[in-house]
Structure 1
């Protein structure tokens, strides 16, 4: 008789070889979307690739999604403001009880994006962004829950995290705060995280983080579209692709017993009319999901190229050491389709050989040798994506030609 597996610990020790403190398969089996996990030294000796001043500068950019949260402890009052901010504001904020949060920092900073391969045990299209927060001592956004999985990596300083792991925690929100802050929070775990420590939280776990000193925290958040989002986009796709000639019909109509009644036969015909629109074709359904999941919910997007360089010029440049860099807002994924594959890039779809789809989706940059290994269809797809602004050409000196 096999022994029952011991209850997984809520705290483990990580290492450079195993940032999760265990094989990825064990983490996915025992913790993923099931229970929290604190990993001490998930990234031993971690040094933040950015400084608080860098984050403040990014929060001043028009296109960056940023928030500033301030807490008046005396009156337990919270203030939330949205960026962009003026640089002159930050020195006057004081040294306590405020937090600056910036979304999608991985799209703006290549060093932050370089952290993401550490999470390749998850589908890359499931990762939404890396949010970076700077908190002055005492800074917080209050006790709250997230509807998605998140890895909270401490990058600088120290933050105290408290969580509530009881089965049915109270989830009523305060009505006097713009943030979705819990009315009641009763933690049963309390830790202080230092640089390199990481806390994993599945959806729906109440948690509260407070800066012990000035600190930076990286939040690697997963994309988890709601059923309403999925249904809304699915229905929009069905409607846009529907044949206008497909309509409600009743060739079997019998004389009405009551002209004002919507009878059972009418309802059955309505169901049949809707059923005609259903995506029973797995290929159409796969293409819908691939397009949907590779589009970001944020405003950032690639713009078509304006330089008008010909394909011959681009391919010559690649042979001379130039590199095609993928636009940071262009998310890619691929799917097997019959004996070939479908590549999805920022909502666009390309039919390609499997090897091409795998290569293009996996490489944030394509140099000459990688481009040359692609089939004709693969190179066609890359050039089309370049024209759409999803790649930009960089020379050996780091500048565009």
Structure 2
């Protein structure tokens, strides 16, 4: 991707300019960001996806002023002629190549931060109420029209009597009606309320991963401890004296626990390895279809569900880490960045790296490139 070239998708800004001026700073409205916008699937196909148990979906209704939330699978949708409902289908990029292609338009942001593409299908008046997200979001109007009201609200108070995180004291500052092809970028924390104007409103939402420090630590610590393995070292306290306060944790035991965690962090590349594995771990609903080894003379593409990253010493794919160096490392980084390797590039892999690529193809993580 040419990050220094202006693009209509970002209102004439280059990706580099957008990241400097707007990313996590201020909203951006782009009229006709996508002049040839197309739905990744028909309404019938989206409804069928929402009915599957391997697809994350939610149905939000506000019939007669009463908010309700139903978690998927959603077997049956209300009629489009009935106003006030919204279907949310998460992770479309994992199921539809067209959705994956749309998500790839935003790879000027690191893949470690890019999450998924969600579609919101709404009847007239449908929405999820005024709310804010803890992550950046690009809102792309794919069909129909939606009215957005936004505000940099810092005193938001949530309703405590509804099943959604709806702002009770919403204070909009700006209002826009998005037509097909328009896009609105919002940084984290910006309050916003989108309401369908007419039936058949479909909005794509490109979301990003934003872990809390505590959440990330909770993901990394088990992996770090796995790094150490079973040392067989038991806590011992031959100098422990008799106590009058048996409920107090001995300082020596606290020190023993601290040293165990510090030992994991001190192992070379342990934290980096744990982070890469955590960032590429597939979601619980993701599964891969086993395949055959990559045919000779053929290129390779990452399966649309695969997550691949790398650092200075490793490549990471779907929650696993692999050491890489030299030409193999350079080619694997190309696979992560381009999500494909040409037949000529595959032919340059060492026998060991080629064997690994064959294993990934058998696992369904990588697919043969179609001619």
Counterpart Cα distance in 2 of 1:330 and 1:109: 13
CA RMSD of superposed structures (Å): 2.8
Matches of 1:355 and 1:128, distance apart in 2: 25
Q: Is the 8 A contact 1:21 1:42 kept in 2?
A: no
Secondary structure, in 3 states, of the residue corresponding to 2:295? helix
Among 73, 79, 82, which residue is 1:84 paired with? Answer: 73
Q: In the alignment, which residue of structure 1 is the partner of 2:3?
A: none
Aligned residues: 362
What's the TM-score once normalised by structure 2's chain length? Answer: 0.87
Please give the residue correspondences for 1:333-372 in structure 2 after superposition, counting only pairs within 5 Å: 333-337=309-313, 342-353=314-325, 354-372=329-347
Preserved contact between residue 7 and residue 13 of structure 2 (Cα < 8 Å): no
**What's the counterpart of residue 195 of structure 2?**
210
Contact 2:299 2:346 in 1 (8 A): no
Provide the secondary structure at the position in 1 that maps to 2:211. coil
Aligned counterparts of 1:187 and 1:62: Cα–Cα separation in 2: 37
Distance of aligned partners of 1:349 and 1:53 in 2 relative to their CA distance in 1, 3 Å threshold: same
Among 306, 312, 315, the alignment partner of 1:330 is 306
Question: 2:162 matched to 1:177?
Answer: yes
User: Structure 2 vs 1, CA of residues 123 and 78 (structure 1 numbering), >3 Å: closer, same or farther?
Assistant: same
Q: Secondary structure at the match of 1:231?
A: helix
- C-alpha deviations, 1:129-173, integer Å up to 9, x for none? 00011111111011111121111111111111111214x222x32
Uncovered stretches (5+) of structure 1, i.e. residues with no partner? 1-14, 397-401
Q: Does the CA contact (< 8 Å) of 2:299 and 2:344 recur in 1?
A: no
Aligned to 1:154: 141
Report the Cα distance in structure 1 between the residues aligned to 2:80 and 2:112, rounded to whole angstroms: 37
Distance, in Å, in 2 between the alignment partners of 1:264 and 1:85 is 53
- The answer on whether the counterparts of 1:248 and 1:273 sit within 8 Å (CA) in structure 2 is no
Matched, 1:235 2:221: yes
Structure 1 window deviating more from structure 2 (45-54 vs 344-353): it is: 45-54
Question: Which residue, out of 180, 184, 192, partners 2:177?
Answer: 192
1:222 matched to which residue of 2? 208
Q: Confirm or deny: 8 A CA contact 1:148 1:222 kept in the other structure.
A: yes
Single out whichever of 97-106 and 377-386 deviates more from structure 2: 377-386
Instruction: Determine if the alignment matches structure 1 residue 129 to structure 2 residue 116.
Output: yes
**What residue in structure 2 maps to residue 12 of structure 1?**
none
Q: Hey, what does 2:361 align to over in structure 1?
A: 386
